[in-house]
Amino acid sequence: MIADAMVAVADALRAAERVLLACHINPDGDTMGSALALGLALRAAGKDVAIVCPDEPPRAYRFMPGSETFLRAVPSGTFDVSVALDCDGFHRLGPAGPGVRSAARVIEIDHHSGEDRFGDVLVVDRKAAATGDLVFTLLKLLGQPLTPDIATNLYVALLTDTGSFRFANTTARSLRIAAELVDCGADAARIAEHVYETRSFAAVAMLGRALASLKRGEKGALVWARLTARDFLGTGGSDAETEGIINHLRSIEGVKVALLFRQVDGRIRVSLRGRAPVNVAAVARAFGGGGHHQAAGCTLDLPMAQAERAVLAETRKALKRPRTAG
């Protein structure tokens, strides 16, 4: 089934002249790495490619080859094919959604379990470690060479979505793919330095403010922190620079669920991280979000205090029930 869909995607891309690739809002290494890798390959094949990334990419990812071509909005004109990468629902496209949907053929390539599917062709494999894993397979099918730049972007996708190959989604296949990408020119040490050891002063200052707000409950199984509009103003930081803070919270001994609340543009963005058997994706979906069992997110149109109460209540329910599908 997935193999047939992959062939259909390859055929559609071969026939297309103008292609739109889309990252999800609040972009991570997987969505950006997948889009950039596919974009570089399609441009090398002579396609007219636009890559839209609705939100500002985190500073640490600006080294990625081709990242300077990111557009914040869908350009005018018609597209033969659009491809949404790593989006587990139409809402994850943000303002780019209507433009993506307007293409003659809409494709989704993803490894999440979202139910809000919108594509004409779906390549969705929950067993894949990252969407970059699926793009790797697609490029092989297209016969596109894995240049050092393409390999770098795919390596970022795998590295970040497996938590540096530490998370439970790390498999023998993902490690084999990573090894091949290094063979093709991805510099593992350089990539890790950019992704994990390049932070602005504002990003570190925001980490301090988040940790200063840290609270816990459920006998230490639940921790949460917040960043208010005042925190962003006081540090001069952006939401893109908060990436990684949630992992500090999750690393606390005994924690099963970690939450980070961020007040951005009058809304509350929530990052959720968990440990088995808790399904944080189910918590996020209760508020219109989504993600993986152990990494998810959602956005609420509520004041900070109300958003915290609502998400904490749902999280406490999740902590008391066994893992559920999705």
Q: What is the pLDDT of residues 303-324, one digit of tens each?
A: 999 999 999 999 999 999 755 4
List C-alpha distances in Å: 273 to 8, 71, 220. Answer: 34, 29, 14
Whether pLDDT at 3 is above 70: yes
Q: Which residue(s) pair with 116 in the sheet? A: 89
Q: Are residues 27 and 84 in the same domain?
A: yes
Measuring CA to CA, which residue among 245, 230, 198, 34 is closest to residue 131? 34
71 phi and psi angles, rounded to 5 deg: -110, 145
Q: Are residues 222 and 166 in the same domain?
A: no
Instruction: Look at strands 105-110 and 121-124 and give their pairing.
Output: parallel
Q: Are residues 74 and 148 in the same domain?
A: yes
Residue 233: partners with Cβ closer than 8 Å, 6 or more residues away: none
On whether the CB atoms of residues 85 and 22 are closer than 8 A, the answer is yes
Domain boundary among 196, 215, 246: 196
Residue 9 domain flag: yes
Whether pLDDT at 145 is above 70: yes
Domain boundary among 196, 218, 251: 196
Per-residue pLDDT of 123-137, as tens digits, reads: 999 999 999 999 999
Asked whether the whole model's pTM tops 0.75, one would answer yes
- Alpha-carbon span 168 to 24, nearest angstrom: 23
Number of domains forming the structure of the chain: 2
- Alpha-carbon span 55 to 77, nearest angstrom: 21
Domain boundary among 196, 227, 248: 196
> In this structure, is the dihedral angle defined by the CA atoms of residues 285, 58, 27 and 151, taken in order, positive or negative?
negative
The predicted pLDDT at position 213 comes to: 98
Q: How many CB atoms lie within 10 A of CB 140?
A: 13
Q: Are residues 292 and 205 in the same domain?
A: yes
Which residue type does 47 have? K
Per-residue pLDDT of 30-40, as tens digits, reads: 999 999 999 99
Q: Are residues 255 and 285 in the same domain?
A: yes
Alpha helix positions (H), 198-302? 201-212, 229-235, 245-250, 280-285
Residue 97 domain flag: yes
- Alpha-carbon span 276 to 118, nearest angstrom: 29
- Alpha-carbon span 66 to 36, nearest angstrom: 6
Q: Are residues 52 and 185 in the same domain?
A: yes
Q: Which residue(s) pair with 18 in the sheet? A: 48
Residue-number span of the structural domain to which 302 is assigned = 201-320
